[in-house]
Structures are given as C-alpha cells and as structure tokens.
Structure 1
Amino acid sequence: MRTLLRLFAVVALACAPAFVPAPALAAGGPQVLVVTTGNEEQEVADYAVERLHMEARRWNFTLIEGTPEDLEHLGAYDVVMFLNTGGDFLDEAQQESVETFVKQGGGLVATNTAIESEPDWTWFHESLSATALPRAEAATEESVNFNSGSQVTEGLDEELKLTERWYFFDPEPAQPGSTLLAQLGSGDAVAWVNEELPVFYASPGGEGKTWGDRDFLQLIRQAIWWGAGEDAAMVQNSDDAAPAWPYTLTFVLFVVAVAGGGSIAVWRLDKAESEREAAAA
C-alpha cells in the first residue's frame, strides 16, 4: 500500500506542470474583445476564435469573446475585433462607443465580411478606406504577396496561397489614407491599415482552412499587437509553444520515465524499511 501511495505521489508531481495556469494569461498583455455577431458561417467563426485563443496563449495577449452590448463599455480593452461580422448588428450608442474608442487610440481589427457590416455607418467605412464589391460566387485559390516595412507583416516574406471567395474593392485603399500590406498576384488589395487611425482590415477569413494557416494567423496576431499600440516585437511564450515532438507522445514518455525511476526508488525504500523491521523483530 505504501508503495502505491508513493508511486502515485511521484506521478502526480510529474504531471503537475501540465496543470499550471499559462503564464501568458497573467502577463498583462493586450486585452482583445472579439465579436462575431451576424457572421454567415458559425462553424468558421467558432474555429477562428478557437485558433485565436491558442495564439493568445502563445503570444501574450488575452482574447475575450463578446457581444454588441459589450461594445458599450470598452475601457478595459486595447483592441476590438470584428471577426466576419455582418448586417446591422450595432445600435447607435454602440457605434459611437467604438468610434470614440478608436479615436482615443484603441485598435480595430476587422476581417472578411466585416467590411459589409453596418452599411449606413459612415465613420466605419471611411476608416476602412475602401468599398467592397460583391464577393466572388465560388472560392478559388490565389497567391497573396506581403509588403515589407510594416510591423504587421514582419517575418511574412513567403508567398501565401489561400482559397477564398475573394473580395475586390472600388475604390481600393490607397495612400495617403492607407498602407497596403498584402495583395493578390493581380495587384488587388488583400490587407491594409489606416495611416491615421489604428484600424486594420484583411479580406480573407471566410473559410475555416484560412484560420488554420500559420502565416495568416501571424498576420492577424501582429495586426492585433499593432492595433494595441505595442511597439516591441512579439515574443513567443515558450511554456505554451508547441514542442518539437508531438505533445502527447512526449508527455507519455516523460511520465513513464519519471514513474519508472520513481518506482525503483520506492521499491528500494520499502525493501530497506522491511529489512529494518525484520531486524527489529
């Protein structure tokens, strides 16, 4: 019985690090309120939020899922994200709250169908600096090229291939009001920022596979960092980084090794204790 108890204690100690709260959650990084109201594909939105939660744990920002009502009180947030939002999902007070938030330095990150949201909200569409034409009927694979020189595209040097129902714009974002960050091979805009306000938009994101792409997620997390006004380079939280080996296999081998060594030590202790008891008898 004593052997089992000691062995259990050894395994519990070995597993304990897996249940320690991620330090990224206590790091005090940017607070991001994400709203998906009115999206056309809930499964895509749910998957996108799931992937962004993983990015938040690894890259020291906090993602909070919210509703339009949460937009009325933005004092606790650094960035608001309209993830594939659609339709008239905000009332006048919520629009004014977001507008004031951005004018005072808060970041706004929008993706995909968000550019069609709130068609009568003049300030929002002026901030996005472009007008979307109807999306393509069918999804096609296109190459996306990134422009260097921006904090948002840092490290994104390779061509990215994404399959989307692509947006095209008329007018397109143009300087001096906007800085183009990415475009299709045809030259049509894909992602950009407002030069006067911390507003970022990326047209992809309507397909679940896009949110699983490493480079696209890097673009979005760096846009969040930029929108929050963070100038320093992002540093990955090593405790939450994916290990070189598959995590499950690594963890199992680790526990087996510790438990095996612990069981030998426990067996020796019990043997020595038994011998002392026999000698005393």
Structure 2
Amino acid sequence: MPTHAEVRDDLTDILVAVVACDRADVVDEARLEALGVDSLALVEVADELGRRHDRYLVDDVVNHLVTVDDAVRAILEHDGSAGPRRVATSLHHPAPPVVDDEKSHRTSAMSKIAGFFIVLGAIIGVVLGLGGAALVAATGIGGVELPPIAAPSSEPTASASPSPSPEPTEEPEEEEEEDEEPTFEVGSNQVAPGQRFTLSGSFPELDDGEVLQVQVREDDGDWEDFPVTAITSSGGDYQTHVYTSRTGEREFRMLHRSSDTATDSEKVQIG
C-alpha cells in the first residue's frame, strides 16, 4: 500500500508535466483549479495517477476532486480494484466498432436484391442465346459452305545461319540492406488547448508489444517524459493520442528506452 507522501510525489510529477505548475505549489491544501488544472486536464491527471497505482477512479470521484489532498486520498481510500480503463486514455487499444443493426439489415436486403437481379440476368441471357441460335438455324445462315482455302505452295527455305552465342553478363552486386530509421508524425502542428491530436510512425527494427515513451520539451530544453506511452504493433508501427491544456509551442518525439533510440521531433503550437 503506498504512503500519502508517495502518492503526492507521483501526483506532483504528473501536474508538473501536464500543466507546468511549480513543484513547490503542490501541497495538500492547494486547489487543483488554482494550479491550472481544468476539466480536461483533470481527467488526464486522474487517469495517469490511477494507472501508476493500478487504481481506476470513476467519473463521479474524479468530478469531486478539488484539492491535492482529495486526489491523494482518492488513491489511498480506493478498494484496490484496477477496473476498466477510461476510453479517453485507452491510447493503445481502440474501442471495438459499434455494429449498426439497421445498416446491417439494409446491407442484407440489398445483397438479396442484387442476387435476384444477377439470377434474372442469367436467365434472360440464356433465353436470348437460345432464341438467337434458333433464328440462325431457321434462316440457314449456319449452313453456308465456303470454298476450301488453297494450301500455299512451299518455298525453299534458306539455310539457317548460326546465331552468335550470347555474351556473359555480369550479375549486379547485391547492395547491403541499410537499417531503416524510426519515423514520427503528428496529426496536426497547431491545435486548440485540450484538443486531442495523433502521434504515429514506425520503429521498423522493433517487434510488436514494445513500449514507447512520449517525450516533450520547450525552447530546446531537456526532454521530459509526457504521461502517455504507445505500444508497437506488427512491423513496429505505433499510434497514440495526446492532449494538453497548456498553451505555447511544444516539441514532441517518441523514445524506445530499452535501446535508447529516439525518433526525430515535431513541434506543435498549442493555442
């Protein structure tokens, strides 16, 4: 069971990363709103804090978090169940598509109608073909005999000249395969505060299931971990979504910590 201080330290790290507040301002009685946490950022902060301690904070609890102490006690007083992941933060496993029954019925009906017209067309084609054959037989067109074609006289063939033997061709040398560099793209380079945007790309040298860390920095400062990760799929492809309410220009990249390999970065203007 984590202590009050441990949970508050984790919460402090998350608040500094998400809303860039001063670490010294994160005290028990501090109001989250005064630290710069709006409704969108509150969901992001609560979800990341719950993930770190394997606790799921339901919406009713999150909506009643007012102070730093409220958020810490929400983790300490939790019953311990991991619970489902919130849809807004399930970045690696998109929700299954919803099946539209009405659309499915319409599709089935259209398939039946199309099948009927295909069968009807085949029947009409057969009828027209038989009718045409009968018409040809009745008019006697098929019975016309044409004179035989005279066989061409054979001409003396010239002796074949020997063909030159082909010159041996040099096989091109195989080029050594170069390792493919990881790629990184952002869905939009300018978004509104709190607007979700996509980070995607590929680590061709990685297998599926590898964890990638989103990193962020400002004004060419040090890279810091953003509280979002991504998981590679087959071929090293990845995709995740992030959002932040903090305005200004921020630079993002993806890091594979195990191999210490990072992608090129992209800048995003927030606001």
| TM-score, reference length from structure 2 | 0.23
- Larger radius of gyration between Structure 1 and Structure 2: 2
| TM-score, reference length from structure 1 | 0.23
| Bigger relative contact order, structure 1 or 2 (CA pairs below 8 A, ≥6 apart) | 1
